[in-house]
């Protein structure tokens, strides 16, 4: 699930075409968290027959009231699906769902994996797929506001031909290359953004240590090349949990030697030690870094 800043990326898809109801793809959407629920809602509004599943079934109630079908299990959700979309919290959640889903996928189905799990996990999932099933890794850039507006940046690796019409209801598709490349690019971008937020927090600490008031420092930083990170560091009304920041930066530092990001990871781990901050938007972690220094 999940992302943070607006980014401008080249793309290869236009607005969704109008399609008769009897040819609309049947979609199974698994994972109805902060990002998944509004994304599933976009597909429902577009007229797709939609089956949904979430570990906490109560989160599906608003979608069911609008016409979605609630499945009792991931396996039940995907049996008749043309397109399966997963938007889950982490690799462990994806692995648990995959174990149930894989035996039920029909030949010709497409699985669009939109969680942030890294390219290695995508590769492992691809190796487990049955014959005739296509996997597209398509994590997203943008937070809950952009999910609701259908304005996400979608980083899509693999053969997207079968699913671009579906994805166009959710945002702008950028084809990133072979399978796993979308997941890889998402880690690169998220790591840069999360590192930028931590740097903004430390810069505010430095400003205070040098006797500058917060408003003066914040305004100067907002007018610098770090302006986008400053806006996100102090954002309201969006959600990307601090626990997800720990997960994403952790995946990055496992992939390469990244001393600066290792320090960033410690910042987020320290913030996430408070359960309230772990559940809250990453802007709370910025406040934690600023006040605990």
Catalytic residues: 186
- Non-local (6+) Cβ contacts of 160 within 8 A are 136, 138, 167, 173, 175
DSSP letter at 87?
-
Distance of CA 93 to CAs 99, 158, 160, 184, Å? 10, 22, 24, 19
Q: Alpha-carbon distance 268 to 48, whole Å?
A: 39
The answer to whether 142 and 6 have CB atoms below 8 angstroms apart is yes
Smallest CA-to-CA distance from 293 within 225, 199, 196, 193 is with 199
Q: How far apart are CA 253 and CA 186, in angstroms?
A: 14
Report CA 171 to chain centroid distance, whole Å: 13
Burial class (CB in 10 A: 0-12, 13-18, 19+), 209: exposed
Name the residue among 88, 133, 70, 69 with its Cα closest to residue 106.
133
């Amino acid at each position: 699930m999940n992302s943070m800043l607006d980014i401008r990326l080249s793309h290869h898809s236009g607005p969704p075409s109008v399609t008769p109801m009897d040819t609309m793809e049947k979609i199974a959407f698994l994972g109805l968290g902060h990002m998944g629920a509004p994304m599933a809602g976009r597909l429902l509004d577009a007229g797709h027959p939609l089956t949904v599943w979430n570990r906490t079934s109560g989160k599906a109630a608003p979608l069911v009231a609008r016409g979605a079908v609630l499945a009792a299990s991931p396996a039940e959700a995907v049996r008749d699906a043309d397109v399966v979309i997963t938007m889950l919290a982490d690799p462990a959640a994806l692995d648990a769902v995959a174990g149930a889903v894989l035996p039920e996928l029909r030949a010709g189905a497409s699985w669009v994996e939109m969680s942030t799990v890294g390219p290695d996990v995508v590769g492992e999932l691809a190796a487990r797929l049955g014959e005739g099933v296509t996997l597209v890794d398509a994590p997203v850039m943008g937070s809950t506001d952009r999910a609701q507006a259908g304005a996400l940046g979608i980083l899509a690796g693999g053969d997207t031909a079968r699913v671009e019409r579906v994805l166009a209801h959710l945002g702008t598709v950028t084809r990133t290359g072979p399978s796993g490349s979308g997941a890889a690019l998402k880690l690169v971008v998220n790591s840069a953004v999360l590192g930028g937020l931590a740097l903004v927090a430390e810069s505010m600490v430095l400003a205070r240590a040098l006797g500058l008031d917060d408003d003066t420092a914040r305004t100067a930083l907002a007018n610098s090349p770090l302006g986008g990170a400053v806006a996100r560091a102090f954002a309201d009304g969006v959600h990307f949990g601090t626990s997800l920041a720990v997960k994403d930066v952790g995946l990055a530092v496992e992939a390469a030697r990244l001393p600066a990001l290792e320090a960033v990871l410690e910042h987020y781990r320290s913030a996430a030690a408070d359960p309230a901050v772990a559940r809250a938007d990453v802007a709370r972690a910025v406040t934690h870094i600023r006040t605990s220094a």
